């Protein structure tokens, strides 16, 4: 159990367009989801925390109007990169959490989305 | 803000050797620590975790040691195999908040 599906795995978009990334918890309800960004040869950097039914909490330096997060249900969170630019090219990874069910169950990661903006 | 760091960026070992990957953390309030393995182009894969009320935890071929006095975490991999080659991250948090990741150590295993 505790599978998180992330889609798409790779996306190439033109500069100025928007891209939506989906994160789904397949076999559990995720009250909290986390979005990370990872540049080449670097660590995962937390972008935002989203709780189902409420606004996301963004980390310092992350533009909330550029990285729109929606967590409208207990199994789906989406990250939309708006007006993408080449510097937004990165590996985006989500993590889903269901507090109270054990730590390893509570921090399951998706397989990541490689975004390339040309 | 506080962050988790690593002592060494790369580690090269021979197949069959034991590997030790280290991590230093700075948040004394952290009560939960996890080691993840990440292969190229993939998401982090859970290896082993430990809570702050423990000093050691063992899994299959892996052991995590926690020294709260010096805020140090280590991952020991026994009989390292080529399939263990990857980047290893430690992560920490407190009370169910988001995991904060360290910088990562690249483990390279040669046969």
> What separation in angstroms does the CA of B72 have from each of A31, B43, B88?
31, 25, 15
The pLDDT value recorded for residue B22 is: 95
- Residue B3: is its pLDDT beyond 70? no
Q: Is the pLDDT of residue B2 over 50?
A: no
Please tell me which residue, A100 or B111, carries the higher pLDDT value. Answer: B111
β B86-93/B100-101 pair status? antiparallel
Residues B98, A46: C-beta atoms closer than 8 Å: yes
- Cα separation, A117 vs A54, whole angstroms: 29
CA distances in angstroms from A118 to A11, A87, B40, listed in the order given: 11, 10, 22
A11 in contact with B, Cβ within 8 Å: no
Give residue B95's pLDDT.
74
**Which DSSP string do the residues of A11-30 spell out, in sequence order?**
EEE-TT--EEEEEEESSS--
Determine contact, residues B29/B52, Cβ cutoff 8 Å. no
| pLDDT at residue A22, rounded to an integer | 97
Query: Which of chain A's residues have a Cβ under 8 Å away from the Cβ of B32?
Result: 103
Distances (CA, A) of B26 to B6, B12, B43, B91: 11, 26, 25, 12
Determine whether the interchain pair B42/A42 forms a contact, defined as Cβ–Cβ distance below 8 Å. no
Q: What are B80-105's pLDDT values in tens digits?
A: 999 999 999 999 988 778 899 998 99
- Residue B49: which pLDDT band, with cuts at 50, 70 and 90? very high
Q: What's the CA gap between B68 and A54, in Å, rounded?
A: 36
Provide the Cα torsion B105, B48, A28, A93; round to 10°.
0
Per-residue pLDDT, A108: 87
* Per-residue model confidence as pLDDT tens digits over B4-47: 554 458 999 999 999 999 999 889 999 999 999 999 999 999 99
Instruction: Tell me which of B31, B42, B44 to substitute to probe the interface with A (most A C-beta atoms closer than 10 Å).
Output: B44
What backbone torsions phi and psi does residue A31 show, to the nearest 5 degrees?
A: -75, -25
Whether the Cβ atoms of residue B92 and residue B30 lie closer than 8 Å to each other: yes
Q: Which two tokens stand for residue B69?
A: 């006095």
Residues A45, B4 contacting (CB under 8 angstroms): no
Contacts of A112 in chain B (CB under 8 A): 41-43
Whole-number Cα distances in Å, B37 to A43, B44, B48, B85, B107: 12, 6, 10, 9, 10
Looking at residue B97, its pLDDT comes to: 83
- Whether B79 shows a pLDDT value over 80: the answer reads yes
- Nearest by CB to residue A107, choosing from B1, B41, B99, is B99
∠ CA A73-A78-A81, nearest 5°, is: 155
Q: Which of B1, B32, B101 sits opposite A44 (nearest CB)?
A: B101
Q: Is B64 on the interface with A (CB under 8 A)?
A: no
Interface of B with A in 76-105 (CB under 8 A): 89, 96-104
- pLDDT band with cut points at 50, 70 and 90 for residue B59: very high
Rounded to the nearest 10 degrees, how much is the dihedral formed by the CA atoms of A91, A97, A101, A103?
A: 40
Which residue in chain B is spatially nearest to A33 when comparing CA positions?
Answer: B98
pLDDT in tens, chain A (118 residues): 678 999 999 999 999 999 999 999 998 888 889 999 999 889 999 999 988 888 999 999 999 999 999 988 989 999 999 999 999 999 999 998 766 655 544 588 999 999 999 9
Nearest-Cα residue of chain A relative to residue B33: A103
Place of tokens 């991952």: B75
Cβ contact, residue pair B49, A103, below 8 Å: yes
């Amino acid at each position: 159990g505790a599978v998180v599906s992330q889609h798409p795995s790779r996306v190439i978009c033109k500069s100025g367009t928007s891209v939506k990334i989906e994160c789904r918890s397949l076999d559990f309800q995720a009250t909290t989801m986390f979005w990370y960004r990872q540049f080449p040869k670097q660590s995962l950097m937390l972008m935002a925390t989203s709780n189902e039914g409420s606004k996301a909490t963004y980390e310092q330096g992350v533009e909330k109007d550029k990285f729109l997060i929606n967590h409208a249900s207990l199994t789906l969170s989406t990250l939309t990169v708006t007006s993408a630019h080449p510097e937004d090219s990165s590996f985006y990874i989500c993590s889903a959490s269901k507090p109270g069910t054990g730590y390893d169950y509570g921090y399951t990661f998706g397989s990541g989305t490689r975004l390339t903006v040309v | 803000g506080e962050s988790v760091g690593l002592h060494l960026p790369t580690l090269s070992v021979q197949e069959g050797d034991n590997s030790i990957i280290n991590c230093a953390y700075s948040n004394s309030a952290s009560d939960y620590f996890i080691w993840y393995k990440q292969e190229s182009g993939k998401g982090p894969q859970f290896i082993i975790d430990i809570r702050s009320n423990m000093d050691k935890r063992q899994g299959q071929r892996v052991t995590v040691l926690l020294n709260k006095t010096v805020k140090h975490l280590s991952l020991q991999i026994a009989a390292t195999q080529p399939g263990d080659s990857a980047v290893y991250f430690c992560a920490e948090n407190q009370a169910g908040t988001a995991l904060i990741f360290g910088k990562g150590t690249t483990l390279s295993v040669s046969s």
